[in-house]
Amino acid sequence: MVVTDTKILVVDDSEVIRSTLVCYFQDEGYQVFEADSAEEAETIITSQSIDVVLLDIRLPGKDGLTLTRELRTHSEIGIILVTGRKDEVDRIIGLECGADEYITKPFNPREILARVKNLARRVQKLKHVESADDAVEAPLPYQNIGTWRLDTNRRILLDQSDNPTQLTEGEYQLLSVMHENAGSTMSRDFLMSRLKNRSWNATDRSIDVLIGRLRKKLKDDSSTPRLIITVHGAGYLFTPDGA
């Protein structure tokens, strides 16, 4: 077993689910904390440098969606929502609140592990970049998107005054795929197939939610978009020059 410095927080009011996940991640070498409520989770988050939270949506007292919204206002902690299969509306709202991923119960531990690894890698890379010496003048990789620049190291959007806007994992993946295929109409099925570590169903609206979030962060008016254009009946067209 390889011990890592990644810290995972499992938040679920089911003792069985918490114990299952805690034991699983401990066996994989992670530092794992657990909480049975949002309030207890907040206490742990303020005292520990948590990388990824596995958060049940339906908690007693403050629910997981509220906690997600509050965490995202001041933190780039990785958030994976754990939902029931019938909670599709909650999953969509969770993504709108800023969650990075969601998984459904009953879950496959190997699937959770893959998602946690991917998300923890992004969170820790961001922490490393932010703590790097500001005097280092190594050039950062940027992609130009209209009047914005995408910093692919830190996964942030920079406006013309270099004000940063952080992207979640899902937003960053989707924007990267669209940038790679700029000028071509991309169907929802194509976009879903290119996003890593995500499972979908035929009625999934997550792509539309992520598109909405990206438009908001890019200040791309959804009524008359210039960057991400809806092609009715076909999908989306990305025009990074805003043409």
If DSSP states are collapsed to H, E and C, what string results for the chain? CCCCCCEEEEECCCHHHHHHHHHHHHHCCCEEEEECCHHHHHHHHHHCCCCEEEEECCCCCCCHHHHHHHHHCCCCCEEEEEEECCCHHHHHHHHHHCCCEEEEECCCHHHHHHHHHHHHHHHHHHHHHHHCCCCCCCCCCEEEECCEEEECCCCEEECCCCCEEECCHHHHHHHHHHHHCCCCEECHHHHHHHCCCCCCCCCCCHHHHHHHHHHHHCCCCCCCCCCEEEECCCEEEECCCCC
What percent of the chain shows pLDDT beyond 70?
Answer: 87
Q: Are strands 101-105 and 142-145 parallel, antiparallel or unpaired?
A: unpaired
The whole-number pLDDT of residue 125 equals 74
Residue 96, C-beta contacts closer than 8 angstroms, at least 6 positions apart: 209, 212, 213
What percent of the chain shows pLDDT beyond 90?
Answer: 35
Q: Measured between alpha carbons, how far is 41 from 29 in angstroms, rounded to an integer? A: 21
The whole-number pLDDT of residue 10 equals 96
> Quick check: 202 pLDDT over 80?
no
> Quick check: 178 pLDDT over 70?
yes
Residue, of 125 and 11, whose pLDDT is higher? 11
Q: What is the pTM of this model?
A: 0.64
Average pLDDT over residues 115-142: 66
* Domains of the chain and any CATH numbers: 7-128 (3.40.50.2300), 142-238 (1.10.10.10)
> Quick check: 170 pLDDT over 90?
no
Residue, of 151 and 236, whose pLDDT is higher? 236
What confidence tier does 131 reach under pLDDT thresholds 50, 70, 90?
low
The whole-number pLDDT of residue 124 equals 77
Q: Measured between alpha carbons, how far is 206 from 173 in angstroms, rounded to an integer? A: 13
The whole-number pLDDT of residue 128 equals 63
What radius of gyration do the chain's Cα atoms show?
A: 18
Per the listing, tokens 């938040």 go with 11
Taking only the tens place, the pLDDT of each residue in 17-65 is 999 999 999 998 999 999 999 999 999 999 999 999 999 998 989 999 9
Alpha carbon 207 to its chain's center: 13
Taking only the tens place, the pLDDT of each residue in 83-115 is 876 667 777 788 878 888 888 888 888 888 888
What confidence tier does 230 reach under pLDDT thresholds 50, 70, 90?
very high
| Angle between the N-to-C axes of helices 88-97 and 64-72, in degrees from 0 to 180, rounded to the nearest 10 | 20
Which of 226, 241, 209 minimizes the C-alpha distance to 91?
A: 209
Alpha carbon 213 to its chain's center: 11
What confidence tier does 210 reach under pLDDT thresholds 50, 70, 90?
confident
